């Protein structure tokens, strides 16, 4: 979903969004049925925790400054390819609830997108908003509470 504004190699070389610490473990992606099936095939034995009608990868909460990899991360990147979670294809954009309204916001964690012209980022957000809104309607557990470090881009 980022291909319109970022080349694939930039993402493939980074993997920042596939490694978590105690402050951002909440960003572990929601896993829908398609991704669940793909993950079980690619990473047999991977554990899931139910979340509404979907799942999340079950990982230990890292203590202190420790890091934990997403169970789907391999030395060659994500094992799930095109079946990776919707939230992973969307990140650093994220659906959040702001003042009781679902919005599309930008994480401060992605340096590559932060370096793009703000107007191009905002235009991309408006272009993908209908697709995100449709996914959120089907997978409401994808919505997270508002976080002040995120930048509002558009309503959903
Ligand atoms: S599912 Fe794939 S893209 Fe998403 S956090 Fe895990 S390794 Fe990264």
Residue with tokens 């979340």: 51
User: How far apart, in whole angstroms, are the C-alpha atoms of residue 13 and residue 148?
Assistant: 28
Whole-structure pTM value: 0.94
Q: Are 103 and 110 in contact (CB under 8 A)?
A: no
Q: What tokens were used for 66?
A: 């420790």
- Cα-to-centroid distance, 55 and ligand 1 (Å): 14
Q: Are 114 and 21 in contact (CB under 8 A)?
A: no
User: How far apart, in whole angstroms, are the C-alpha atoms of residue 40 and residue 31?
Assistant: 11
Residue with CA nearest ligand 1 atom 7: 73
- Cα-to-centroid distance, 139 and ligand 1 (Å): 18
- Number of neighbouring beta carbons within 10 Å of residue 139: 20
Q: Is the CB of 72 under 6 A from ligand 1?
A: yes
Q: Are 56 and 31 in contact (CB under 8 A)?
A: yes
Position 113 pLDDT exceeds 90: yes
Q: What average pLDDT does this structure show over 1-25?
A: 89
Q: Are 75 and 123 in contact (CB under 8 A)?
A: no
At 16-59, the pLDDT tens digits run 999 999 999 999 999 999 999 999 999 999 999 999 999 999 99
Position 71 pLDDT exceeds 90: yes
Position 79 pLDDT exceeds 90: yes
Contacts of 32 (CB under 8 A, 6+ apart): 54, 85, 86, 139
Q: Is 101 strand, coil or helix?
A: strand
Which residues, listed in sequence order, are joined to residue 49 by a DSSP beta bridge?
56
Q: What tokens were used for 105?
A: 């916001």
The pLDDT assigned to 11 comes to 84
Position 13 pLDDT exceeds 90: no
Q: Is the CB of 29 under 6 A from ligand 1?
A: yes
Position 1 pLDDT exceeds 90: no
Residue with CA nearest ligand 1 atom 8: 18
Q: Is the CB of 80 under 6 A from ligand 1?
A: yes
């Amino acid at each position: 979903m980022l291909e319109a504004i970022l080349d694939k190699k930039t993402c493939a070389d980074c993997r920042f969004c596939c490694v978590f610490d105690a402050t951002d473990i909440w960003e572990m992606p929601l896993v829908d049925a398609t991704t669940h099936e793909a993950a079980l095939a690619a990473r047999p034995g991977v554990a899931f925790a139910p979340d509404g009608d979907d799942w999340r990868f079950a990982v230990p909460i890292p203590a202190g400054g420790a890091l934990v990899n997403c169970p789907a991360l391999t030395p060659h990147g994500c094992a799930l390819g095109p079946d990776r979670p919707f939230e992973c294809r969307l990140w650093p954009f994220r659906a959040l609830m702001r003042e009781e309204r679902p919005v599309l916001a930008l994480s401060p964690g992605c340096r590559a997108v932060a370096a793009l012209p703000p107007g191009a980022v905002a235009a991309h957000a408006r272009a993908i908003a209908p697709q995100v809104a449709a996914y959120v309607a089907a997978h409401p557990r994808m919505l997270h509470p508002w976080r002040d470090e995120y930048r509002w881009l558009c309503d959903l």
